[in-house]
Amino acid sequence: MRIALLGYGKMGKVIEQIALQRGHEISAKIDISNRTDLLSINSENTDVVIEFSSPESAYGNLKFCMEFGLPTVSGTTGWLQHQDEIARLCLENEGAFFYASNYSIGVNLFFELNKSLAKLMSPYTNEYKVSTNEIHHTEKRDAPSGTAITLAQGIIENLGNKIKWVNNLTANDNEVPIWSSREGKVPGTHEVKYISEVDQIEIKHIAHSRNGFALGAVIAAEWIQGKTGIFGMQDMLGL
């Protein structure tokens, strides 16, 4: 499989390593220094695009890929205000678009655990206050993380008394607070806490390296080949 990498930072380099180990070819490596080379990517030289760039570049990258019907796997966060437009372009051009806020299989199981816990806690919202914490390396520009937002959305959908999330703010009763920190070289830590006057319930996921995220993205690129539509980790994992 010929893979074009849009975004060639630390994550892009790990994806390249894993893709090569799995027998794939890298057809292009695009970052801010050679952005105009994006125009050379097409279905004749590329089977799948993997896009891990930056919030500032993601929308333009994805718009290009969707307009030219290039199957694309994206893990960039901070651009989701354009998600409906990207989905529309994908469907109009009979393309394939796979998006996940986190490609780690462990994190996606954690998402399901988070939803189940929220359902269990829904009768006890007067007793327990929910909050989420996320910690990432200092090079991560956006906050909260896409993973933290996905966790908050899972809580909102299943807890019953929440309507939105807030970042680094004291939350009202109908809000889910997300507390974001940027420290050292932390790949990613996410916690969900339910705290009452008498006890505390926590679930937590700690990433030890980027390898789990990169492997999941390459597996998604393999999985999306030959498909048409909008997909995510739940589709691939059958959750």
Residues 202, 215, single domain; the answer is no
For residues 42 and 113, state if they share a domain. no
User: Is the pLDDT confidence value at 239 over 90?
Assistant: no
**Residue 208 DSSP class:** -
Tell me whether residue 228 is annotated as binding: no
Q: Are 22 and 48 in contact (CB under 8 A)?
A: no
- State whether 189 and 232 are in the same domain: no
Identify whether residues 122 and 66 lie together within a single domain.
Answer: no
Specify whether 162 is located in the same domain as 202. yes
Q: Does one domain contain both 53 and 93?
A: yes
Which residue among 10, 13, 82, 140 is the active-site one? 140
Percent of the chain past pLDDT 90, that is, above it, reads 82
Residue matched to tokens 């790990």: 14
Pair 67, 130 in one domain:
no
Question: How do residues 81-91 score in pLDDT, each as one tens digit?
Answer: 999 999 999 99
Separation in Å, CA 171 to CA 24, 31, 109, 149, 193: 47, 38, 27, 15, 14
Segment among 70-74, 104-108, 140-144, 202-206 with least mean pLDDT: 140-144
Mean model confidence pLDDT for the chain: 94
Would you say 217 is a known binding-site residue?
Answer: no
Q: Is 136 part of the annotated catalytic residue set? A: yes
The answer on 217 and 199 residing in a single domain is no
Of 118, 90, 80, 114, residue with least CA distance to 205: 114
Same domain, 118 and 152: yes
Residue 221 structural domain: 2-99+211-237
Question: Same structural domain for residues 163 and 111?
Answer: yes
The annotation status of 87 as a binding-site residue, yes or no, is no
The pLDDT assigned to 232 comes to 95
Q: Clarify whether 140 is annotated catalytic.
A: yes
Q: What is the CATH number of the domain that holds 218?
A: 3.40.50.720
Q: Is 132 annotated as a binding residue?
A: no
| DSSP reduced 3-state for 199 | coil
**Which residue is listed with tokens 């269990």?**
120
Q: What is the tally of structural domains in the chain?
A: 2
Q: Which is nearest to 1 in space by CA: 21, 18, 26?
A: 26
Does the annotation place 137 within a ligand binding site?
yes
Single out the catalytic residue among 115, 136, 162, 190: 136
Extract the tokens encoding 206: 């700690």
Same domain, 47 and 86: yes
Examine the domain organization and report whether 41 and 75 are in the same domain: yes
pTM: 0.77
What is the SS3 string spanning 1-41?
CEEEEECCCHHHHHHHHHHHHCCCEEEEEECHHHHHHHHHC
Q: Which stretch of 104-108, 125-129, 132-136, 227-231 has the lowest confidence by average pLDDT?
A: 104-108
Q: Assign 139 a pLDDT band (cuts: 50, 70, 90).
A: confident
Per-residue confidence at 77, pLDDT binned at 50, 70, 90? confident
